[in-house]
Amino acid sequence: MPTSLPHALVTGASSGIGADIAREYARRGKPLVLTARRAERLEALAAELSAQVPCVVLAADLADPAAPAALFAQTQARGLFVDTLVNNAGFGVPGRYLSVDWKTHADSIQVLMTAVAHLTHLYLPAMEAAGRGRILNVASLAGLVPSSAGHTLYGASKAWLIRFSETLDQESRSRGVYVTALCPGMTYTEFHDVNGMRDKVSKLPKGIWLTSAEVARLGVDAVESGRARIVTGRSNKLIAGLSKYLPDRLARALLAAKAKDFRDAD
**Which residues are catalytic, by number?**
154
Query: CA 75, CA 15: separation in Å to the nearest integer?
Result: 22
Contact between 143 and 89 under an 8 Å Cβ cutoff? The reply is: no
Triad 216, 218, 224: Cα angle to 5° = 100
* DSSP secondary structure, 99-143, as one string: GS-HHHHHHHHIIIIIHHHHHHHHHHHHHHHHT-EEEEEE--GGG
Query: CA 55, CA 40: separation in Å to the nearest integer?
Result: 14
The CA-atom distances, in angstroms, between 87 and each of 38, 67, 259 are 16, 14, 27
Query: CA 240, CA 182: separation in Å to the nearest integer?
Result: 13
Question: In sequence order, what are the beta bridge partners of 213?
Answer: none
DSSP state of 203: T
Nearest CA among 217, 230, 266 for reference residue 20? 217
Contact between 9 and 116 under an 8 Å Cβ cutoff? The reply is: no
